Amino acid sequence: MVKALANFYLADEAIREFNNVLASNLDMETLADQSLQQLLIHADASAGALLIESGGEIRIAAVHGIRSPETLISNDQIRLAFRNSRQQIISLPEDVELESVLTDFRPSQVFIEPIEYKGSVIGLIVLASAKKFDADVLRQLEFLRQSLAFAFNNALTHERLQRLAALDPLTGLYNRRFGIGRLQEEFSRAIRQNSQLAALMFDIDYFKKVNDTYGHMAGDRVLVHISKISRSAMRNGDILIRYGGEEFLCVLPAASKEEAVQVGERFRRLIEESFIKEGKVKIGVTISVGISAYPEGSAENFSDLVESADKALYKAKDTGRNCVVVS
């Protein structure tokens, strides 16, 4: 009886500590990482992961001790747990050869627990242990899972709201307010690390004529089309912003003027060679591009960098459009 009472108080303390972790976080990455650490300790597991489903895609929110985390997403048992919302305890006999994704030890059991919120599976707990899980611990995990479901739902809602606040609703690019914030961060980083940074400003030539001739719905389709092409032409790590109307800003971390010109020319050429269909009519447009760079130029802050790129863009307009001009 004394042992049972001691176990009860230990379990109650673990749940309180776990709930404190959940209550203090809305950031999904932090929430998932701290929650997984608590689950590993509580279950005496050596490896594990927390997975979430959002927008029809499964992604890993936190992982510990997994050699190839990406294999979890395509694993049949994982996908089955998302579909049927059933707990699974997979025992792995010692005499069976196993190509395990778990590092440093051979798991005896793998525990998979769906995280369900209002009848829908929004995530999974995956824990692996070198010994069998204690039955009392697994029962206690049910209480932790319920708390985690509420916390994950809140974090996902917060994540969606943050994303909506950051994105332009038409093109899906960063909006001006959020994008300028990202530019400011990158400029500060360039100063701290004594690294390069370039800005590429471009807009669509004669866009008013497109709207006047084919209508604003066709104009919107052109904007979406330009956004997709530009995203496909960016380097990894570049930041594309719908700056306003038909004007776009691309931030290129660690890029020199020469590299920015190469990106700008790639944008210009791909857009010039493309078109959208409006009925039987093909609508093609071109862009004018202005480029500035730090520290190669005279910019002392992020505002100077944008202003310099904007001036170069106007020079491109004045010199015939469909060209790239460097400030």
Q: Which residues are catalytic?
A: 246
Strands 247-253 and 88-91: unpaired
Question: 313 with 303: CB under 8 angstroms?
Answer: no
Instruction: Copy the structure tokens of residue 267.
Output: 């944008």
CA 188-190-192 angle, to 5 degrees, is 70
Helix, strand, or coil (residue 215): coil
Spatial distance between the Cα atoms of 211 and 193, rounded to a whole number of angstroms = 44
Cα dihedral 21, 23, 25, 28 sign: positive
Q: 111, 88, 87, 109: which is closest to 98 by C-alpha?
A: 109
* C-alpha dist (Å) from residue 326 to 35, 226, 269, 312, 319: 49, 21, 17, 6, 12
Quick one: how many helices (H) and strands (E) in the chain? 10, 12
The residue type at 92 = L
Are 45 and 128 a contacting pair, CB within 8 Å? yes
Terminal Cα-to-Cα distance of the chain (whole angstroms)? 80
The pair of structure tokens assigned to 132 is: 């069998």
Nearest to 112 by CA among 148, 93, 85, 131: 85
3-state DSSP call for residue 56?
coil
Nearest to 78 by CA among 55, 97, 53: 53
- Cβ-contact 35, 50 below 8 angstroms: yes
